[in-house]
Structure 1
């Protein structure tokens, strides 16, 4: 995320962020109680954090297996050349592609996929393989599905 400025956050901002990551459905009144501020002060701070781009959205965490996506895989793609638009188009078209990171190293991209079954995974992987060479790893289990960003992890 180069080129983006870093927001200056105080301890109360971090407390709000940690509470929202724990439960983004908390009301402003509940959030205010948890961080020992007034609801109006919390509302102002949350709006400021949103305006600064610190809070970029609110999401429901979905268990892929419970919705029929029983196979998850990590695909590492070595992409030849510099015309990356075909990959961008494929990402936009394939909802099975949950995440895509451009990375350093031998591979150019690390992609997380969730599919119904192995045959479905094979279809998605075959489409990606048209773009470059890949390595696919099927996920057995997930030890850490998501970790909150905290003041400590940000070095504060």
Structure 2
């Protein structure tokens, strides 16, 4: 991967629907050359997909929280099935430290968050942090 590939990734990271012609103008290549580079990055697994970013609040999800869970190893598969079945869970990580799982969740209100936490507490101790504001949203590492 060279500097041109990184620039292409950066442009796609800002707007995955940017036309090839605009990318080509920014990196001083022809649109077919840009297309070939993108296809190469897709086939090599550097680009793994394209996603839409939504305004959660406009969809009625006003509460974002992080839920830490202490999960006994023997409950892992049941826990994974539980979080996969809940549309409010947007991210789930197995982590090191005092807690073994970290969930990012979004719900319309605190009552639904509370019901979810009660459901998860059946697996182990939890700690919940409600987000007041987002300082910086998701970004891919290494992209300018």
In which range does the TM-score fall when normalised by the shorter chain?
over 0.9
2:125 matches 1:133 = yes
Deviation of 1:31 after TM superposition, in Å, equals 1.4
SS at match of 2:73: coil
Please report the TM-score for the alignment, with normalisation by the length of structure 2.
0.94
Inter-partner Cα distance in structure 2 for 1:11 and 1:151: 11
| Matched residue, 1:60 | 52
Inter-partner Cα distance in structure 2 for 1:143 and 1:136: 19
More displaced, 112-121 or 141-150?
Answer: 141-150
Aligned length: 144
| Matched residue, 2:61 | 69
Deviation of 1:82 after TM superposition, in Å, equals 4.0
Inter-partner Cα distance in structure 2 for 1:49 and 1:82: 39
Inter-partner Cα distance in structure 2 for 1:68 and 1:94: 16
Inter-partner Cα distance in structure 2 for 1:53 and 1:26: 20
| Matched residue, 1:4 | none
2:31 matches 1:39 = yes
Q: Which runs of 5+ in 2 are unaligned?
A: none
Inter-partner Cα distance in structure 2 for 1:138 and 1:31: 39
SS at match of 1:112: strand
2:100 matches 1:112 = no
Superposed CA deviations along residues 17-45 of structure 1, whole A, max 9, x for unmatched, are: 00000110112122111211111111111
| Matched residue, 1:102 | 94
CA RMSD between the two structures: 1.3
Of the three residues 125, 141, 144, the one matched with 2:136 is: 144
2:11 matches 1:11 = no
Please report the TM-score for the alignment, with normalisation by the length of structure 1.
0.87
Deviation of 1:126 after TM superposition, in Å, equals 1.2
Larger proportion of helix:
2
Q: Which runs of 5+ in 1 are unaligned?
A: 1-8
Inter-partner Cα distance in structure 2 for 1:87 and 1:51: 33
